[in-house]
């Protein structure tokens, strides 16, 4: 039970932070608008991403893509929960990584189920070169993935 709570509570907090930030953006901004925060480097934007990571498959106009991405997210969360349960207590690094990936995947899964798309709002750029807009869930998934790679390299 304790191990379950050590997974569910931080995952829930990540999901709540992700959903709260997306709600704030949707509440205070109009779709496809931008607010310059650090001119020439960082904007808050409000965009809706129908695709996957880095807008992969975005604009495909196919509900099947949305359902496939939602199903994939669900499978990832189940697999991550299983991996977390099998991870040794001493392997804090991997456990935190699993929490990050699961929290981020669930945050975006909620958007896909509710809206058929994901709200992105963080826009980093240098001049006209833009990194695809992303959100808190994307940060969590990316951070967790890097942590898992480091964990794998440390154990080899």
Residue 18 annotated to the active site = no
- Residue tagged active-site, from 18, 111, 120, 123: 120
Say if CB 80 and CB 101 are below 8 A apart. Answer: yes
- Residue tagged active-site, from 18, 111, 123, 138: 138
Residue 138 annotated to the active site = yes
Helix or strand holding residue 120 (H, E): strand 118-126
CB neighbour list of residue 104: distance below 8 Å, 6 or more residues apart: 14, 18, 136, 137, 138, 139, 140, 141, 142, 144
Token pair listed for 8: 């569910």
The Cα-based distances of 59 to 72, 138, 139 in angstroms read 18, 19, 22
Which of the residues are catalytic? 120, 138
């Amino acid at each position: 039970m304790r191990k379950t709570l050590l997974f569910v509570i931080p995952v829930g907090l990540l999901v709540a932070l992700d959903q709260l930030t997306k709600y704030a953006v949707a509440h205070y901004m109009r779709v496809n608008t931008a607010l310059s925060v650090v001119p020439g480097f960082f904007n808050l934007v409000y965009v809706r991403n129908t695709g996957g990571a880095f807008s992969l498959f975005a604009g495909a106009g196919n509900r099947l893509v949305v359902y496939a991405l939602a199903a994939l997210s669900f499978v990832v969360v189940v697999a991550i929960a299983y991996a977390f349960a099998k991870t040794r207590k001493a392997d804090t690094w991997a456990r935190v990584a699993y929490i990050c990936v699961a929290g981020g995947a669930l945050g975006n899964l909620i958007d896909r189920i509710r809206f058929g798309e994901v709200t992105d709002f963080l826009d980093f750029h240098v001049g006209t070169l833009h990194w695809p807009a992303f959100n808190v869930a994307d940060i969590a998934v990316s951070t967790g993935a890097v942590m898992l790679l480091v964990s794998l390299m440390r154990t080899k």
